[in-house]
């Protein structure tokens, strides 16, 4: 049986942020970690497109276990928004 649980607030946000950095840098290898300030707009400031966003969302699903619906992806424009979303939404557990 699959249950959903909210990502615990005690989850290490720094570790999640590192995972997000890795996923973004995998999708956009021309970027560096210095490019990825928490509030930098991934689309307008860094040039990522909807396919990049989908690939990042797929990476989050694989690494963290959280599916991000397409309707939500459009509002997740920076690393901080992605991190907040992960911490606030249920994750499937078995």
Q: What is the pLDDT of residue 24?
A: 97
What CA–CA distance (Å, rounded) separates 28 from 7? Answer: 27
Rounded to two decimals, the pTM is 0.82
* Residue 9 confidence (pLDDT): 45
Q: How does pLDDT run across 23-35, given as a tens digit for each residue? A: 999 999 999 999 9
* CATH code of the domain covering residue 34: 1.10.1200.10
State pLDDT tens for residues 76-86: 999 999 999 99
| DSSP per-residue letters across 8-53 | PTTS-HHHHHHHHHHHHHHH-TT--GGG--TTS-TTTTT---HHHH
Q: Tens of pLDDT along 34-70?
A: 999 999 999 999 999 999 999 999 999 999 999 999 9
Q: Are 7 and 87 in contact (CB under 8 A)?
A: yes
What is the per-residue pLDDT for 78? 96
pLDDT category, 12, cuts 50, 70, 90? confident
In total, how many domains does the chain have?
1
What is the reported pLDDT for 4?
47
Asked whether residue 19 carries a pLDDT value surpassing 50, the answer given is yes
Q: Give residue 45's domain range.
A: 3-93
Query: What tokens does 85 get?
Result: 């979303």
């Amino acid at each position: 049986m699959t249950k959903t649980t909210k990502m615990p607030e005690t989850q290490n946000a720094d570790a999640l942020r590192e995972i997000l950095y890795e996923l973004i840098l995998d999708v956009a290898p021309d970027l560096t970690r210095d490019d990825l300030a928490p509030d930098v707009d991934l689309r307008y400031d860094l040039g990522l497109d909807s396919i990049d966003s989908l690939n990042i969302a797929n990476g989050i699903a694989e690494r963290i276990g959280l599916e991000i619906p397409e309707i939500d992806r459009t509002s997740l424009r920076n690393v901080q928004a992605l991190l907040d979303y992960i911490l606030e939404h249920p994750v499937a557990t078995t």
